[in-house]
C-alpha cells in the first residue's frame, strides 16, 4: 500500500495505530498519479446489520470506474476502492460482480 494511503487510513480509520512495514517506507514515487481523491456525494447512509452503506456513493464509484476503464481501454490499470464499512464493501463487491470485468482482484475484508 502506498504510504499516503496508509497514512490516511491510519489517521482516519485506525486512530493512528496502523503502522507500515519497512518496504512501504521505500516506495518509489516515480510515475505516480494523484493517489487520493475525495468526492462529496449526496446520498443517504443506511445501516445494514451494524455497518453503513450508501447506494449513491456506490453508484458514483461504479460510474467512475467504468469511465476510467473506457478512457484507458487496453491499458494495465491498478487502483483500489477503499471503505471502512463492511456494508459498503459488500455493496461494491456485488456491483463489481454484476459487471463483465475479468481483471478484478478482491482484497480480504475482515
Count up the domains in the chain and report the number.
2
User: What's the distance, CA 90 to chain centroid?
Assistant: 12
Same-domain status, 21 and 43? no
Same-domain status, 23 and 44? no
- In eight-state DSSP terms, residue 104 is -
Task: Tell me the three state secondary structure of residue 84.
Answer: coil
User: What's the distance, CA 93 to chain centroid?
Assistant: 11
The predicted model scores a pTM of: 0.66
CB 23 within 8 A of CB 43: no
Same-domain status, 28 and 4? yes
pLDDT tens for residues 25-80? 554 454 455 667 778 888 888 886 778 889 999 999 999 989 988 888 888 877 77
The confidence score (pLDDT) of residue 34 equals 62
The confidence score (pLDDT) of residue 91 equals 92
Amino acid at each position: 500500500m502506498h504510504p499516503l494511503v496508509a497514512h490516511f487510513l491510519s489517521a482516519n480509520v485506525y486512530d493512528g495505530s496502523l503502522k507500515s512495514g519497512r518496504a512501504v517506507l521505500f516506495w518509489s514515487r516515480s510515475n505516480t498519479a494523484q493517489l487520493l481523491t475525495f468526492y462529496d456525494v449526496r446520498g443517504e447512509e443506511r445501516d445494514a446489520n451494524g455497518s453503513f452503506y450508501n447506494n449513491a456513493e456506490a453508484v458514483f464509484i461504479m460510474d467512475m470506474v467504468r469511465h476510467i476503464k473506457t478512457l484507458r481501454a487496453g491499458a494495465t490499470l491498478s487502483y483500489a476502492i477503499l471503505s471502512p464499512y463492511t456494508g459498503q464493501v459488500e455493496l461494491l463487491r456485488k456491483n463489481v460482480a454484476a459487471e463483465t470485468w475479468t481483471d478484478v482482484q478482491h482484497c480480504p475484508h475482515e
